[in-house]
Amino acid sequence: MKKILEVKNLKVHFELSSGLFKPKKVVHAVDGIDFEVFEGETLGIVGESGCGKSSLARALCGLNKITSGSALFNGIDLAKATAKQWDEVHKQMQFIFQDPVAALDPRMTVAEIIAEPLVTLYPNMKQTEVMEKVFSTMKLVGLSQNQVNRYPQEFSGGQCQRIGIARALILEPKVLICDESVSALDVSIKAQIINLLQELQQKLKLTILFISHDLGVIKHICNRILVMYLGNIMELGAKKTIYSDPLHPYTKALLSAVPVANPELEKAKVIQLLEGELPSPVNPPHGCVFHTRCPLASEACSLSRPTEKIVREHSVSCFKVN
Q: Which residue has the higher pLDDT, 167 or 279?
A: 167
286 phi-psi bin (left φ>0, alpha ψ -120 to 50, beta other): beta
pLDDT at 80 over 90: yes
pLDDT of residue 163: 95
Q: What is the mean pLDDT of residues 183-203?
A: 89
Per-residue pLDDT tens over the stretch 211-251: 998 888 898 899 999 999 999 999 999 999 999 999 999 99
pLDDT of residue 27: 93
pLDDT at 71 over 70: yes
Query: In terms of residues, how long is the chain?
Result: 322
pLDDT of residue 207: 96
pLDDT at 29 over 70: yes
pLDDT of residue 270: 64
pLDDT of residue 317: 93
Confidence of residue 269 (pLDDT cuts 50, 70, 90): low
Rounded to the nearest angstrom, the gap between the alpha carbon of residue 69 and the centroid of all alpha carbons in its chain is: 19
Q: What is the mean pLDDT of residues 145-151?
A: 93
197 phi-psi bin (left φ>0, alpha ψ -120 to 50, beta other): alpha
Q: How many CA atoms lie within 13 A of 153 on its CB side?
A: 4
**Average confidence score pLDDT of the chain:** 91
Judge whether 220 and 288 are in contact, CB under 8 Å: no
Q: What is the mean pLDDT of residues 93-108?
A: 92
pLDDT at 259 over 80: no
Per-residue pLDDT tens over the stretch 278-316: 888 999 999 999 999 998 888 889 999 998 999 988 899
Q: Per DSSP, which regions of 239-280 are E strands?
A: none
Spatial strand order in the sheet of 309-311: 93-96, 175-179, 207-211, 42-46, 224-229, 232-238, 314-316, 309-311
Confidence of residue 50 (pLDDT cuts 50, 70, 90): confident
pLDDT of residue 272: 73
pLDDT of residue 100: 86
* DSSP string computed for 69-124: EEEEETTEETTT--HHHHHHHHHHEEEE-S-TTTTS-TTS-HHHHHHHHHHHH-TT
pLDDT at 264 over 70: no
pLDDT at 268 over 70: no
pTM of the predicted protein model: 0.91
Confidence of residue 183 (pLDDT cuts 50, 70, 90): confident
pLDDT of residue 1: 79
Q: How many CA atoms lie within 13 A of 305 on its CB side?
A: 14
pLDDT at 261 over 70: no
